[in-house]
Structure 1
Amino acid sequence: MTSSPQTPPARIPGYDGGPFRHQPELLDDHLFWLVHLHLGDTRDLEAGALLSQLLGGDTWPVFTVPLTGDHRLHVVYRALEGEAGIDYLVHHPDWNAAETLAQDDGHFMGPGLSWAELTAAADNGLPGGSTTDPHARLLLLLPAFGDDAVPDEAFERLSAALRARTRVEAPERLAAARLAHQGEWGPTHWTTAEGGYLINDGGYSFRNPANRFAWPTARLAQVATALTP
């Protein structure tokens, strides 16, 4: 179930794009999940039409998941000709600019979420976003996830979400495949930094302090705190 209608952000500080359009009704459309999770054949007329609507329109669809401490995680369909994709952004009202958590496109960046962080965001029940449904939130944020130490219960958790929100014939088989491959970057190892916050070793991740494009230490700590289960 989606939450009550939400006004999309007029702008996301530090992020060029828009105008944004909030479309929570899409989270109740099984075709949306086929497109969002790259499950459908975009040569299919319906799936292809929806993909064109999401990434080729005059407005940029945006979905929001609230996090603790008044942080927000925005999932933005970047409807930019020649550079279309999906951006996962973390923002707080006190920040001058949002931080890019992950990018799902031809020049992918990530992962941005461990399994524990993914499920915490899905389950926090905080109002003010596009939906409070844990299944929808889990699938919405799943493309930003990468973790080489998923717990045994992850398989059933993801299977249940796929069963609830999509019409795929074999949700269990799909869940097993997604947990094994985990996007373009594959499973990534997470550790606790000296300051007590999570970092990873992904070569394409903003949360790997060894990467030249990683976030500053203070931001790594702040985002990890907002995502803490």
Structure 2
Amino acid sequence: MKTIPGYDGGPLDDGGALLGAAAFWPAHLGPHLMDPMEDVADLFGVPFEDVEATYRRLTDHAAWPVFTFDTGRDARLAVVYRNLDEDEGVDYLLVPDGAEAITVATDEGGAFGRGLTWDEVAALAARQPEPIIGARLLLLLAPMIVHFEAPDSDVVARLAEALRTAGVPGPAQPIAERILHPDDYSDDDEPAAFVRGDTLADRILAPVRSASSR
């Protein structure tokens, strides 16, 4: 696995082969749902033993799985399981061509950093060359979405479609609803409006605006 410019990581390992396994999705999304792994495995319709084994693979200190995607904007997106002893986390990076990596978000038991918006993630997924690649990207990034501009029904429908495309055997709509709302909250807990700046990351992630929306 190639190094990521400016990212002082450990033994990076291409995790692409894991994306085809049904057990990958409950293993990756389970911490976001905040339920016991047995319950997550049951929800996704995957044997608990498979989910447990996949999670051990994802969090193995000997090899840090990396998942990379093209952004369509002279940059790659990299999701890295940073399995550093006593400093574990999942890093969401942008790697512009010829420049060092930019940390967009980090998952360390919660989202930290700039985070992503639903519009940004949906746009990144739409830029992928095949529907299954877009579906995988959407689900990989889901835990770091900090602001949703679309109605819940639209988000759930898109997530459910991605779950089916990715080959998740469990019921897509209930899983999608749990991804969108991993815990109960009141309207007062809704995040404030996301304000996009003018950094390199903002320009790479910004969705293309149609003429009618300008």
Normalised-by-shorter TM-score class? 0.7 to 0.9
1:50-89 equivalences under 5 Å are 50-89=54-93
1:1-229 equivalences under 5 Å are 8=1, 10-38=2-30, 41-42=36-37, 44-95=48-99, 97-106=100-109, 108-110=111-113, 112-125=115-128, 133-151=133-151, 152-165=153-166, 166-168=168-170, 170-181=171-182, 187-191=190-194, 198-199=196-197, 220-229=198-207
- Length-normalised TM-score, structure 1: 0.72
- 1:90–1:98 CA contact under 8 A, matched in 2: yes
Question: Partners of 2:112 and 2:104 in 1: how far apart?
Answer: 8
Which one has a larger percent strand, Structure 1 or Structure 2? 2
Question: Partners of 2:133 and 2:104 in 1: how far apart?
Answer: 22
For 2:146, what is the secondary structure of its paired residue? coil
- 2:142–2:179 CA contact under 8 A, matched in 1: no
Residue deviations 1:60-106, cap 9 Å, x none?
110012113311110001121222221101121332x3121111123
Q: 1:17, CA displacement in angstroms? A: 1.5
- 1:67–1:226 CA contact under 8 A, matched in 2: yes
Question: Partners of 1:71 and 1:190 in 2: how far apart?
Answer: 26
Residue deviations 1:137-159, cap 9 Å, x none?
11011111121432342221111
